[in-house]
Amino acid sequence: GNSVTQMEGPVTLSEEAFLTINCTYTATGYPSLFWYVQYPGEGLQLLLKATKADDKGSNKGFEATYRKETTSFHLEKGSVQVSDSAVYFCALSLASGGSYIPTFGRGTSLIVHP
């Protein structure tokens, strides 16, 4: 079956540090890949996405590149802010019987200190 593996958190960084959250996937076929962010007490919001190999998704300074050869979609940001503190979910979506079934990683908590 399909699966998404994320690095375990929490990831704790100082403001302006470089961020990497690793994500690898297993899927039969060619999935679309996503990063979602969940701020405390809220639902999930789409952060960025990539729908085919070598695509780079970017938003709010975050980037992730769809690497088919390594089945990875690592999230990076050059300089984090306190307001980036949240839980980040890597996800894939793959058509199955005509329906796109989403699969999520377990989430990685990011804590940014001033």
Partner 1 sequence: GAVVSQHPSRVICKSGTSVKIECRSLDFQATTMFWYRQFPKQSLMLMATSNEGSKATYEQGVEKDKFLINHASLTLSTLTVTSAHPEDSSFYICSAREGQDVELFFGEGSRLTVL
What whole-number distance in Å separates Cα of residue 3 and Cα of residue 20?
Answer: 20
Report the residue number, 15 or 42, with the smaller CB distance to partner 1.
42
Which letter does DSSP use for residue 84 in this model?
A: G
Return the number of the residue (20 or 45) whose C-beta is nearest partner 1.
Answer: 45
Give the residue with the Cβ less far from partner 1, 41 or 114: 41
- Enclosing H/E stretch for 63: strand 62-65
Residue 106's CB: how many other CB atoms inside 10 A? 13
**Pairing between β-strand 3-6 and β-strand 23-26 as defined by DSSP bridges:** antiparallel
44 binds partner 1 (CB under 8 A): yes
Q: Does 32 bind partner 1 (CB under 8 A)?
A: yes
Kindly determine how many residues on this chain lie close enough to bind partner 1 according to the rule CB under 8 A. Answer: 26
Which positions lie near partner 1, rule CB under 8 A?
Answer: 32, 34, 36, 38, 41-46, 49, 51, 87, 89, 91, 93, 95, 98-102, 104, 106-107, 109
